[in-house]
Amino acid sequence: AVSVAFPLTMMITGIVGNALAMLLISRSYRAKESRRKRSFLLCIGSLALTDLLGQLLTSPIVISVYLSNRAWDAVDPSGHLCAFFGFSMTVFGLCPLFIASAMAVERTLAIRAPHWYASHMKTRVTKTVLLGIWLAVFAFALLPIAGLGQYTLQWPGTWCFISTDNSQLTGSLFFASTFAVLGLLSLVVTVACNLATIEALVSRCWTKATVSRSSKQWGRITMETLIQLLGIMCVLSTCWSPLLITMLKMIFSHTSFEHCKGFSDEAQSSELHKECNFFLTAVRLASLNQILDPWVYLLLRKILLQKFYQAANSVSKCSNNEWKGRSITLSEEIRRTTA
């Protein structure tokens, strides 16, 4: 469960995916036909940049600790690297969640209030919102330096994160619970806005199908958007819910996984080891979100969905041709037998 291959694979995959996403975003942003989508592209680009920076700043530290036989003290004798790692985990954990919420709100306004969106939603507003998210998250992540909260080494000794043990510092409970609550609220906002967007798209698609001849194109666009929004909700919920809920559970039960080692009782140690493994899996799922983000938001729609539709069209054409061939053969046999 603790191998250097896992963080190494995640780092390479995350860097490649986010770099490719940023390349496609820059091309789309410069295109003239993408002027109406520039706010959305800015959000996607900032999300890819955030995920890329998160991978570049945290993964090399984890790999170095693994290569040092998981001896954090050998890599970080002063303890300052642990504080930087916890700070990075907090910043690059909350920023993607808040940016995803901003993207969900932006899409809802674009679909449900198109006239207001066209007149008020400028790129300047989008840049201001994104800058505000970054500054707010940075200020929140710096609270442990001011004495409110603490970043500590986590099991199995290869990473640092927010301390959930409120016996060490009075502000630990507030800081950890605030992080978990903010993360869950951003998930709720994202899911609610995406559901509202899906409902508006479906109703508009039905309207287009009854009054317009371009219903087939509308249906294709609606299906692409629905798959993308459903993918966003599934990835965010699957990757972040286990970690955030586990953090709240530890806070309310006054427990901490910083002491996963050192239990003498064998049964208690076995039970605690399972909980520690689950917590480590939850953290890895949250880190996996940085890898899946570019594929869900951009690459899935631009590449995989087009290939899917091409494959589906080719299969349908082949099946239609095969059915026509069988019908012709059957009609010829009927003529022969009747003659």
pLDDT score at 310: 59
Neighbouring-strand partners of residue 159 = 154
Largest CA distance in the chain: 98
Reported as a pLDDT band with limits 50, 70 and 90, residue 33 is low
DSSP string, 148-175: SS-EEEETTTTEEEE---TTT-TTHHHH
Tens-digit pLDDT profile for residues 169-228: 567 888 989 999 999 999 999 999 988 888 888 787 676 555 555 555 555 656 666 777
On whether the pTM is more than 0.75, the answer is yes
* Segment 244-257 mean pLDDT: 79
Q: Is the pLDDT of residue 306 over 70?
A: no
Q: Which of 133-147, 265-279, 285-299 comes out lowest in average pLDDT? A: 265-279
| Structural domains in the chain, sorted by start | 4-322 (1.20.1070.10)
Q: What angle do CA 10, 238, 108 make, to 5 degrees?
A: 110
pLDDT score at 263: 47
Query: Which range has highest mean pLDDT (13-17, 111-115, 203-207, 262-266)?
Result: 13-17
DSSP string, 279-302: HHHHHHHHHHHHHHHHIIIIIIII
Location of structure tokens 């507003």:
125
| R_g of the chain computed on alpha carbons | 25
Tens-digit pLDDT profile for residues 71-95: 888 888 888 899 999 999 999 999 9
CA–CA gap between residue 239 and residue 174 (Å, rounded):
23
Location of structure tokens 């903010």:
182
Q: Among residues 149, 127, 136, 250, which one has the least CA distance to residue 182?
A: 136
First to last CA, the chain: 75
